[in-house]
């Protein structure tokens, strides 16, 4: 990757993208895709029973405020953070998917316009309108709600195609055609899973909001709780089935990583219990919703209804983490590793070194004098997209753990043997991209860090320097 | 000779100060002219809504303060009416920003991303800052009634949003300014130093005046519309006074641009200035003159005739904006032209080197240095185990001599451990080696057990 290197050495670069992206997915799935069909249906009932209309409006108010602020901005935030952290991969994806994203954007514009029309014209009444005409106006308004639900879903359907394409190894290298994203075997299962997951989450959020917007023992609360519980009962089992279908369709090479994806490697043995926790979460949602359904008059405290919402959010976030992880060691399946080096660049870089082909480094070549400094540059280019020196996913901690936390200086030979071969046993790691000298420099830098911890700062704070390649010949 | 080498060294030094990175080795998705067209047009649409959002927020604040000081509720109402347009325009501003963002990423990948990285912390702060200001705008819009008796608090909410809006454009302007000056990249240490490069501040004030001009014109139209039942909402505030006021904002801001424009032009780094660009900018400015004339006529003219020339005014100013947007692009294209050629050359050379290295890797020269032939089991070891295990000393995992001792005479036990390892000691657990074939497992187990001698 030939860009000035932005790097956050404490929280780590991946976490920045993850926080923004997961927040966006929660809002998109929960509030845009999942909530709107429920609100539109409630408004439809409200044509006859005005108290449904009032409740639907209040729920939509929350959806509207959050989607048009945090939702919209985190969507842009994914672009901004991804282009800071991995400009080479996002830049490559845009070159290929420009058309797809352009279409996505047009759908998105429609979605934004519809949500504004839907919410902002909810209470608009023309003066002196006859009741019949008023009903027609209201009916049209409900229609807009359904259009909005459809467009929110289409936005998701397009982005899932792009995600599916990125994960399907081989596609990128064969022919860079967007339509393959739809034809890919994971597409329909993933979309099915996400659709049901979104509807379940939307139901759970609406249920929680209903508890806040209605009073105890009122008829509307009992009816709304019944309706929303049925909604959740319908889509929750479908979510499980969709999830299983998707899991079975993930290509073999990717499922190999699954046990590592669900938590870090140390947790590998807890894999089974994690699955149990997952089922437990969905089970807990079912129990709470079930109690609400069966005993609408004895519903628990309204704060209890935050629990299903949090559980669904945890599940969504968890799913995204797994989906992101099973891409590894690639960022673009078969084409580019997660360190932003193209697979096809490896022969050259293994021979020449990565420093020689980087335009923003202070050392173009490893020498005896600059070994540690050059090693830091190698770290920034080859490791820093996922690792930090002393923060999240820190290399110092990794090696300390590996070599038993003895406090003894790490053995350079052992480290070299490890780094040369790590991709063989750690399937999620890309091979080391540089040459031998650079690996030694990296090891020297890491060994220096072991006893002299100092954060590796990115270009956003210290700027960039390039090495002075000209050595003065004037003293001949 | 000595002098010559130092001169040569100095020249090379100058060259060195402009980093020339490689581009992404993938073709553009559309013809370049089409991408340029999309960039210019979509950016103008985006900036139009940004102007309305920004100018609208400032005027909301202004009229609410005016109402508070003059104890006139109608100004308060006016500020709410403007706030209602702002919350819509702000959503359009964001969604319309995506297309130019995508397009500039495609066309100017190297430049845009490098500038982003160099100002990275502030660049990503755009997301929380804009989110907060949007939430403040909603908080303000939906609390006119609730906070009717606490005006200072209500005004503070929109004032804070306006303060954020005054700051955020600086982040964008710093980036678009830095991206066209690769020769400055080495000097920049974070956002603040990039902010202080010449031309950022003049462009900032140019943007503020443009926002006021556009918003004045928009609000003139908004309150003059036939379907807008002005007289039903406002009793004291005369429609004609308000129309004149909005026109005057546009007039004042546009005249100020005739001052700001030349300052922007003069502070631009010279490298991108061409006669074509100057001509385009001056034509744009000339087309604004009739608009200013009609504005003046309508402001000072008959009450009944106000708005008659509105289509002309809006039309002329739109054309001006299109010319200015095109001039802006011409400048960027000209200033990067030379550097882009260098980048292209470097990218091509790199691709060639990559392909050569790939060919070389496909047809390796027969390696005569490797005299020792490895046994099949040792080969599996070298490719799969060596990262964590040595034969004699503990690395990540125990030495294989130890494993050989433990599994002496128990080959199936060793194989099943390799396939599904448990956890016995300190340190990370061994990953399951389930990609090894049965033959490979057998070979490596044989080899490990052969270490028992």
More confident residue, A284 or B169: B169
Share of chain B above pLDDT 90, in %: 69
Residue A195: which pLDDT band, with cuts at 50, 70 and 90? very high
Strands A336-337, A330-332: pairing kind: antiparallel
Q: Using the predicted structure, report yes or no on whether residue A4 has a pLDDT greater than 90.
A: yes
Report, as an integer, the average pLDDT of B283-310.
94
Report, as an integer, the average pLDDT of A91-115.
90
Q: Which of A253-267, B362-376, B400-414 has the highest mean pLDDT?
A: B400-414
Give Cα A322 distance to the centre of its chain.
9
Report the C-alpha gap between B229 and A460 in whole angstroms: 52
Q: Using the predicted structure, report yes or no on whether residue B229 has a pLDDT greater than 90.
A: no
Provide the token pair at A179.
């339509």
Report, as an integer, the average pLDDT of A251-268.
55
A–B CB contacts, 8 A cutoff, strictly below: 254
Report, as an integer, the average pLDDT of A259-263.
53
Q: Using the predicted structure, report yes or no on whether residue A79 has a pLDDT greater than 50.
A: yes
Give Cα A217 distance to the centre of its chain.
40
Report the residue of chain A nearest B356, measured CA to CA.
Answer: A348
Locus of tokens 């009450």 = B303
Residue B13: which pLDDT band, with cuts at 50, 70 and 90? very low
Angle at A87 between CA B38 and CA A179, to 5 degrees: 60
Question: Lowest-pLDDT range, A9-18, A211-220, A403-412?
Answer: A403-412
Report, as an integer, the average pLDDT of B296-322.
94
Q: Using the predicted structure, report yes or no on whether residue A455 has a pLDDT greater than 60.
A: yes
Residue A130 has what pLDDT?
Answer: 77
Domains and CATH numbers, chain B: 2-349 (no CATH), 368-450 (1.10.760.10)
Please provide the average confidence, as pLDDT, over all residues in chain A: 86
Q: Using the predicted structure, report yes or no on whether residue A223 has a pLDDT greater than 50.
A: yes
Residue A432 has what pLDDT?
Answer: 96
Residue B7: which pLDDT band, with cuts at 50, 70 and 90? low
Is 0.95 exceeded by the ipTM? no
Report, as an integer, the average pLDDT of A348-355.
94
Cβ-based contacts of B428 with chain A (< 8 Å): 265-266, 401-402
Q: Which of residues 86-145 of B touch A (CB under 8 A)?
A: 88, 91-92, 94-99, 101-102, 105-106, 109-110, 112-114, 116-121, 123-124, 126-127, 130-131, 134-135, 138
Q: Using the predicted structure, report yes or no on whether residue A309 has a pLDDT greater than 50.
A: yes
Report the C-alpha gap between B97 and B216 in whole angstroms: 22
Whether residue A360 contacts residue A6, with contact meaning beta carbons closer than 8 Å, is answered with: no
More confident residue, A307 or B170: B170
Q: Using the predicted structure, report yes or no on whether residue A365 has a pLDDT greater than 50.
A: yes
Report the C-alpha gap between A390 and A7 in whole angstroms: 13
**Which H helix or E strand runs over A330?**
strand A330-332
Kindly provide the b/e burial profile for residues B268-284, where b requires at least 16 CB atoms within 10 angstroms of the residue's own CB: bbebbbbeebeebbeeb
Q: How far is CA A332 from CA A3, A163, A183, A336, A432, in A?
A: 18, 10, 17, 5, 17
Closest residue to A474, CB basis, from B6, B25, B429: B6
Residue A471: which pLDDT band, with cuts at 50, 70 and 90? very low
Residue A459 has what pLDDT?
Answer: 93
Whether residue A464 contacts residue A360, with contact meaning beta carbons closer than 8 Å, is answered with: yes
Residue A135 has what pLDDT?
Answer: 83
Q: Which of residues 48-67 of A touch B (CB under 8 A)?
A: 65
Residue A299 has what pLDDT?
Answer: 63
Report the residue of chain B nearest A117, measured CA to CA.
Answer: B88
Residue B409 has what pLDDT?
Answer: 86
Report, as an integer, the average pLDDT of B362-369.
67
Closest residue to B109, CB basis, from A65, A91, A401: A91
Angle at B92 between CA B250 and CA B201, to 5 degrees: 50
Question: Lowest-pLDDT range, A40-49, A124-133, A213-222, B210-219?
Answer: A124-133
Q: Using the predicted structure, report yes or no on whether residue B47 has a pLDDT greater than 70.
A: yes
Cβ-based contacts of A95 with chain B (< 8 Å): 24, 26-29, 106, 109
Preceding omega of A329 cis (within 30 degrees of 0): yes
Nearest to A439 by CA among A425, A419, A424, A461: A419
Cβ-based contacts of A68 with chain B (< 8 Å): 91, 134
Report, as an integer, the average pLDDT of B329-350.
95
Q: Using the predicted structure, report yes or no on whether residue B282 has a pLDDT greater than 80.
A: yes
Tell me whether residues A269 and B12 touch, CB distance under 8 A: no
Q: Which of A182-186, A404-408, B355-359, B369-373 has the highest mean pLDDT?
A: B355-359
Residue A475 has what pLDDT?
Answer: 39
Please provide the average confidence, as pLDDT, over all residues in chain B: 90
Tell me whether residues A80 and B126 touch, CB distance under 8 A: yes
Q: Using the predicted structure, report yes or no on whether residue A67 has a pLDDT greater than 70.
A: yes
Q: Using the predicted structure, report yes or no on whether residue A405 has a pLDDT greater than 90.
A: no
Provide the token pair at B1.
């000779």
Report, as an integer, the average pLDDT of A123-140.
77
Closest residue to B117, CB basis, from A84, A414, A427: A84
More confident residue, A272 or A251: A251
Report, as an integer, the average pLDDT of B147-156.
95
Q: Which of residues 30-69 of B touch A (CB under 8 A)?
A: 30
Cβ-based contacts of A270 with chain B (< 8 Å): none
For residue range A262-300, list pLDDT tens digits in order.
545 544 544 555 566 667 778 888 888 888 888 877 667
Q: Using the predicted structure, report yes or no on whether residue A340 has a pLDDT greater than 70.
A: yes
Give Cα B340 distance to the centre of its chain.
20
CB-based contact, A352 to chain B, within 8 Å: yes
Report the C-alpha gap between A9 and B443 in whole angstroms: 43
- Residue B453: how many CB atoms within 10 A of its CB? 5
Provide the token pair at A103.
């279409």
Q: Using the predicted structure, report yes or no on whether residue B177 has a pLDDT greater than 80.
A: yes
CB-based contact, B189 to chain A, within 8 Å: yes
Whether residue A386 contacts residue A13, with contact meaning beta carbons closer than 8 Å, is answered with: yes
Residue A476: which pLDDT band, with cuts at 50, 70 and 90? very low
Polymer length of chain B: 453
Confidence (pTM): 0.91
Whether residue A362 contacts residue A373, with contact meaning beta carbons closer than 8 Å, is answered with: yes
- Residue A301: how many CB atoms within 10 A of its CB? 8
Tell me whether residues B16 and A414 touch, CB distance under 8 A: no
Give the CA-trace dihedral at A474, B1, B6, B12, to 10 degrees. Answer: -110
Residue A1 has what pLDDT?
Answer: 83
């Amino acid at each position: 990757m030939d860009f000035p290197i932005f790097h956050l050495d404490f929280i780590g670069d991946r976490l920045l993208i993850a926080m923004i992206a997961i927040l966006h997915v929660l809002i998109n799935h929960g509030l845009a895709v999942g909530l709107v069909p429920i609100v539109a249906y409630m408004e439809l009932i409200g044509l006859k029973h005005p108290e449904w209309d009032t409740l639907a409006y209040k729920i939509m108010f929350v959806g509207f405020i959050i989607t048009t602020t945090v939702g919209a901005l985190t969507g842009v935030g994914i672009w901004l953070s991804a282009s800071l952290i991995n400009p080479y991969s996002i830049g490559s994806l845009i070159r290929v998917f420009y058309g797809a994203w352009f279409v996505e954007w047009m759908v998105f514009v429609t979605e934004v316009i519809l949500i504004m029309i839907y919410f902002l014209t909810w209470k608009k009444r023309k003066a002196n309108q006859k009741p019949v005409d008023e009903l027609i106006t209201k009916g049209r308004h409900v229609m807009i709600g359904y259009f909005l639900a459809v467009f929110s879903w289409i936005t998701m359907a397009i982005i899932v195609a792009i995600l599916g394409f990125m994960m399907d190894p081989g596609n990128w290298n064969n022919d860079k055609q967007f339509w393959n994203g739809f034809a890919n075997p994971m597409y329909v299962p993933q979309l099915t899973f996400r659709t049901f997951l979104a509807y379940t989450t939307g139901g759970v959020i609406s249920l929680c909001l209903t508890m806040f917007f209605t009073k105890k023992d009122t008829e509307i609360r009992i009816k709304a709780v019944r309706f929303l519980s049925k909604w959740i009962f319908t889509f929750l089992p479908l979510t499980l089935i969709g999830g299983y279908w998707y899991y079975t369709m993930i290509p073999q090479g990717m499922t190999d990583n699954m046990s590592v994806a669900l938590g870090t490697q140390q947790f590998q043995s807890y894999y089974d219990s994690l699955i149990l926790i997952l089922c437990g979460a969905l089970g807990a949602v079912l129990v709470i919703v079930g109690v609400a359904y069966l005993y609408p008059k004895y519903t628990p405290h309204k704060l209890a209804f935050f629990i299903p919402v949090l559980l669904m959010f945890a599940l969504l976030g968890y799913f995204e983490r797994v989906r992101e992880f099973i891409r590894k060691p690639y960022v673009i399946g078969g084409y580019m590793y997660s360190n932003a080096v193209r697979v096809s660049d490896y022969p050259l870089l293994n021979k020449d070194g990565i420093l020689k082909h980087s335009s923003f480094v202070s050392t173009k070549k490893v020498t005896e004098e600059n070994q540690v400094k050059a090693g830091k540059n190698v770290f920034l280019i080859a490791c820093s997209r996922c690792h930090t020196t002393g923060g999240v996913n820190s290399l110092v901690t990794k090696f300390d753990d590996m070599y038993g936390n003895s406090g003894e200086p790490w053995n350079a030979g052992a480290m070299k043997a490890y780094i040369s071969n790590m991709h063989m046993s750690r399937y999620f790691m890309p091979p080391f991209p540089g040459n031998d000298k650079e690996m030694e420099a990296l090891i020297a830098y890491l060994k220096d860090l072991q006893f002299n911890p100092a954060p590796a700062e990115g270009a956003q704070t210290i700027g960039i320097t390039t090495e002075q390649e000209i050595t003065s010949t004037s003293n001949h | 000779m000595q002098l010559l080498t130092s001169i040569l060294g100095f020249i090379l030094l100058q060259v060195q100060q402009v980093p020339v990175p490689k581009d992404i080795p993938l073709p553009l998705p559309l013809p370049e002219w089409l991408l340029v067209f999309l960039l210019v047009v979509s950016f103008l649409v985006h900036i139009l809504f940004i102007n309305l959002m920004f100018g609208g927020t400032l005027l909301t604040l202004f009229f609410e303060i005016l109402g508070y000081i003059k104890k006139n509720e109608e100004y308060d109402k006016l500020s709410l009416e403007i706030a209602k347009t702002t919350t819509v325009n702000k959503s359009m501003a964001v969604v319309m920003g995506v297309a130019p963002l995508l397009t500039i990423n495609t066309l100017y990948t190297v430049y845009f991303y490098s500038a982003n990285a160099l100002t990275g912390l502030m660049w990503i702060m755009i997301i929380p800052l804009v989110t907060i200001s949007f939430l403040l705008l909603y908080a303000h819009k939906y609390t006119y009634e609730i906070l009717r008796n606490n005006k200072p608090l209500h005004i503070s909410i929109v004032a804070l949003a306006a303060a954020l809006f005054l700051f955020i454009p600086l982040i964008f302007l710093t980036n678009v300014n830095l991206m066209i000056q690769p020769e400055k990249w080495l000097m920049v240490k974070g956002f603040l130093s990039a902010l202080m490069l010449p031309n950022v501040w003049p462009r900032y004030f140019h943007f503020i005046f443009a926002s006021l001009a556009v918003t004045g014109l928009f609000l003139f139209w908004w309150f003059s519309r036939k379907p807008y039942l002005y007289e039903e909402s406002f009793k004291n505030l005369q429609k004609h006074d308000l129309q004149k006021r909005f026109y005057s904002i546009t007039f004042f801001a546009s005249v100020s641009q005739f001052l700001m424009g030349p300052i922007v032009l003069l502070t631009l780094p010279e490298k991108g200035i061409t006669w074509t660009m100057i001509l385009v900018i001056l034509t744009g400015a000339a087309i604004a003159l009739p608009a200013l004339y009609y504005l003046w006529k309508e402001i000072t003219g008959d009450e009944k005739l106000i708005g008659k020339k509105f289509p002309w005014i809006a039309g002329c100013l739109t054309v001006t904006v299109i010319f200015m947007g095109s001039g802006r692009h011409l400048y960027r294209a000209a200033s990067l032209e030379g550097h882009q050629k260098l980048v292209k050359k470097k990218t091509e050379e790199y691709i060639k080197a990559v392909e050569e290295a790939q060919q070389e890797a496909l047809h390796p020269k027969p390696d005569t240095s490797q005299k020792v032939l490895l046994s099949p089991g040792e080969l599996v070891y070298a490719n799969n185990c060596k990262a964590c295990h040595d034969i004699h000393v503990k690395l990540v995992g125990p030495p294989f001599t130890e494993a050989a001792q433990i599994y002496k005479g128990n080959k199936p036990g060793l194989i099943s451990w390799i396939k599904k390892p448990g956890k016995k000691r300190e340190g990370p657990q061994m990953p399951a080696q389930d990609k090894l074939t049965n033959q490979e497992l057998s070979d490596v187990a044989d080899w490990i057990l052969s270490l028992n001698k």
